[in-house]
Amino acid sequence: MSRSGGRRSPKSVDNTGLIPILARKVREVEAAAQRGKVAPSNRTKFLVVALLAREERTAVRNNPDLAESDRAEQIKRLDGIGSILAKTAARDTSLITLLENDAPISPVAQKLRRQYLEDAGIDVPDEVVEAPKQTTMLPPELAERQVIPQSVKARQLANPFLAPDFSSFETQKHSTHGRLSNWELLGPLFRAFEYGAGGQVASMELPEAPRIDRLSPPGQELMRHQARFVASVSQGHRSFLLADEPGLGKTAQSLLAASVADAYPLLAVVPNVVKMNWAREVELWTPHRRATVIHGDGAGLDAFADVVIVNYEVLDRHLAWLSTLGFRGMVVDEAHFIKNLSSQRSKHVLALAERIRSQAPGGNPLMMALTGTPLINDIDDFRAIWQLLGWIDGTKPTPQLMERLEETGLTPADFGFFSEAREAVIDMGIVRRRKLDVAADLPAKRVVDLPVELDDDLGRSIREAEAELGRRLVTRYTRLLAARTKSDPDADVSTENLMRAVARQEIEESKAQGGSGDNVFTMVRLIGQAKASLAADYTAQLARSVGKVVFFAKHIDVMDQAEEAFAKAGLQTVSIRGDQSALHRQREIDAFNNDPAVAVAVCSLTAAGVGLNLQAASNVVLAELSWTAAEQTQAIDRVHRIGQEEPVTAWRIVAAQTIDAKIAELIDSKQGLAARALDGSDEEVSSGDSVQLDALVHLLEQALEN
């Protein structure tokens, strides 16, 4: 028999069973959506109604005891519920993801599901509603995929036993009973961040920055807001949700935090697009420490390094040995990636975090979640991050947070609980600063390089093409040197002049080919294509964190790839290209500056580099490099305009270990030349020769060395 009732008279309306309950609840959510944004409690109600409606439809269709007329009637009523769900989601589009079959079911939603079923007179086995428990045991299908890099085996042989540490087994002083022991607290805690803000930014009180910066290595300097965060770690704080806006140096802060906490070895779980930048930042801010990046199955890994960097996509292959390495700290970059507790990505990261918290030598590891976007859809997105940091265990606050909540002397039924509970959670380690908050510490305009690794087939073909070009240049150089020496054996042949002559000849022939053939211009275009998806991915992250972003590329195919990626990510874009009429272009500019729904402006470096005003954004992504410093500056200045209220950050995507990195270096040197000539700057003046020429000379030098 269906859970919505059995056989009945065709003319009677069956108000027993599950369907009438779902109908009432979906009407309540619909009414809430009509009044404005749907609150977390109604979002949970929406999710449970959608889940149970799907289950009931399946039960009705498969019930052999139902007459066909009854089956048709119940399907019709379920279709009505589905129609209301769809209309409500269209009104509040953040609800759409809750209609998906794999939408995560929180413990609160599981309890509500049980309640609806019991209200309908249906017995529910306990195992249906129990929250899934995180475990560090690997399922068989995952265990088969584990790899143990050779370097890890060497480390295990060198130190087969971790030093015993009993500090984590000290008697806990936390009280297990109090006024809040029998309260369901996670729902009120999440609501506290929706209703208890009182206009205040969610950021813990930090100590003042030391008068003298003793932490930064030579050539680097901490900004005041960064120094205050590190000072908090120096005073003993060990868990943080660092939610600064992009561009405020979260990576540098976390690395120096690990240094002052001596949290080595440190595990960094990061998106693929930034893993090379993490290695670069380790070298920059903690030069006395070694970093290693896990690629694929771990070939080339240094298991003795101080900082182990792994991207989300390959983490599942390395869980076994990572969980035994004895990490004293863990940092998860772009932590909103783990918000879906039912995803494999989230389960892997949380399992590792649990193992590190329970087994770290010293018993008090440094745990940091970095994100400029702690919330994607609603307050419940906090759940996975709080669990990562050890503030909640999935169903209730952990003893440390519970102790802070008990100190408020309030329960969820008391007036003022939301604001006090919110402060208690913030003091666990939430730090949030915006660009506007620290504008006095930031330069008005800066360029930040983001090295990326091209480790796919296209990346390998690019490196092979570079090597082939280098060999071709060496052949030309050898012939020219032999010819010069033969004509005048006693001549003082300048190696530098010969190299530049060879490079100049290569450029002339490349230009004559008109963009075809294997040359430096086609190579740079291939690099742009290979970087396109990574640049678009990072742009999407920025757009979700800080709002509008301007994306610059040189080639149309790179712009096309980016726009396709943004569309898949659900981001609305405008496009500014060279083949547009002036009227159409202005419409695109106005839409970007004035329409809140438009997240990204995809612009041609050459067509949109001058005469445009895009100051609605303060973040620029340079997906491809220009051949001139002036072109790069003009692009950034579309955002850095009179009236711009925020510091402007240009994120330059640079393909590591390719000619792209040398081009970026050369552009910066030409920027110094322009500053010296026009602004009286004391920056070092470099050669005024073309970037193309110098880049080819660099390739030739490398090839000769090899």
pLDDT digits (tens, 9 = 90+) for 63-106: 888 888 888 888 889 889 988 988 888 777 777 777 777 677 77
| pLDDT surpassing 90 at residue 700 | no
Cα separations in angstroms, 394 against 130, 290, 319: 11, 35, 21
- Last residue of one domain, picked from the residues 79, 108, 129: 129
| pLDDT surpassing 60 at residue 680 | no
d(Cα 347, Cα 357) in Å, to the nearest integer?
A: 15
**Same-domain check for residues 203 and 301:** yes
pLDDT of residue 37: 67
Comparing 99 with 660, which gets the higher pLDDT? Answer: 660
Residue 701, class by beta-carbon neighbours within 10 Å (0-12 exposed, 13-18 middle, 19+ buried)? middle
Comparing 128 with 139, which gets the higher pLDDT? Answer: 139
pLDDT of residue 294: 93
Q: What is the number of structural domains in the chain? A: 4
pLDDT of residue 135: 43
**Same-domain check for residues 357 and 503:** no
The reply to whether 467 falls in a domain is yes
**Same-domain check for residues 322 and 459:** no
The reply to whether 98 falls in a domain is yes
Q: What is the pLDDT of the chain when averaged over all its residues?
A: 82
pLDDT of residue 679: 40
pLDDT of residue 538: 92
CA 53 and chain centroid, separation: 34
| pLDDT surpassing 50 at residue 170 | no
| pLDDT surpassing 60 at residue 456 | yes
pLDDT of residue 376: 45
- Bond preceding residue 107 cis, omega within 30 of 0: no
pLDDT of residue 378: 59
CB 668 within 8 A of CB 681: no
| pLDDT surpassing 60 at residue 173 | no
The reply to whether 56 falls in a domain is yes
pLDDT of residue 196: 59
The reply to whether 166 falls in a domain is no
**Same-domain check for residues 668 and 547:** yes
The reply to whether 173 falls in a domain is no
d(Cα 509, Cα 360) in Å, to the nearest integer?
A: 60
Show the DSSP H helices in 269-343 as ranges.
Answer: 275-285, 319-322
Comparing 236 with 363, which gets the higher pLDDT? Answer: 236
**Residue range 120-145: mean pLDDT, rounded:** 62
CB 366 within 8 A of CB 258: yes
d(Cα 382, Cα 365) in Å, to the nearest integer?
A: 21
Comparing 228 with 670, which gets the higher pLDDT? Answer: 228
Confidence of residue 642 (pLDDT cuts 50, 70, 90): low
**Residue range 459-488: mean pLDDT, rounded:** 82
pLDDT of residue 305: 93
Comparing 459 with 608, which gets the higher pLDDT? Answer: 459
Comparing 9 with 214, which gets the higher pLDDT? Answer: 214
- pLDDT tens readout for residues 333-361: 989 889 888 889 999 999 999 999 988 88
- pLDDT tens readout for residues 533-561: 999 999 998 898 888 999 999 999 999 99
**Same-domain check for residues 513 and 637:** no
**Same-domain check for residues 357 and 421:** yes
Q: What are phi and psi of 443, to 5 degrees?
A: -70, 155
The reply to whether 109 falls in a domain is yes
Domain that holds residue 475: 453-521
pLDDT of residue 124: 76
d(Cα 343, Cα 345) in Å, to the nearest integer?
A: 5
- Nearest one of 248, 277, 282 to 264, comparing CA atoms: 282
pLDDT of residue 257: 96
Query: Quick one: tokens of 474?
Result: 């060496």
Q: Which residues contact 332 (CB under 8 A, 6 or more apart)?
A: 268, 269, 270, 338, 349, 353, 368, 369, 370, 388
- Last residue of one domain, picked from the residues 387, 406, 438: 438
| Residue labelled with tokens 């008068």 | 211
- Nearest one of 507, 514, 500 to 469, comparing CA atoms: 507
| pLDDT surpassing 70 at residue 5 | no
**Same-domain check for residues 551 and 483:** no
| pLDDT surpassing 50 at residue 683 | no
* Distance separating the N- and C-terminal Cα atoms of the chain: 78
**Residue range 523-533: mean pLDDT, rounded:** 89
Number of Cβ within 10 Å of residue 636's Cβ equals 20
- Last residue of one domain, picked from the residues 87, 114, 129: 129
CB 577 within 8 A of CB 601: no
pLDDT of residue 366: 96
**Same-domain check for residues 395 and 477:** no
| pLDDT surpassing 90 at residue 286 | yes
**Same-domain check for residues 486 and 550:** no
pLDDT of residue 703: 81
The reply to whether 148 falls in a domain is no
Query: Quick one: tokens of 352?
Result: 């590792």
Give the range among 49-58, 371-380, 386-395, 442-451 with minimum mean pLDDT. 371-380
pLDDT of residue 428: 95
Spell out where 406-536 has E strands. Answer: 430-431, 445-452
Supply the CATH number for residue 208's domain: 3.40.50.10810
Of the chain, the percentage scoring pLDDT greater than 90 comes to 29
| pLDDT surpassing 60 at residue 129 | no
In the chain, helix, strand, coil percent, each to 5? Answer: 50, 10, 40
pLDDT of residue 379: 66
Kind of pairing, strands 239-242 and 366-370? parallel
The reply to whether 588 falls in a domain is yes
| pLDDT surpassing 80 at residue 370 | yes
Confidence of residue 302 (pLDDT cuts 50, 70, 90): very high
**Same-domain check for residues 269 and 380:** yes
Supply the CATH number for residue 556's domain: 3.40.50.300
**Same-domain check for residues 470 and 557:** no
**Same-domain check for residues 485 and 593:** no
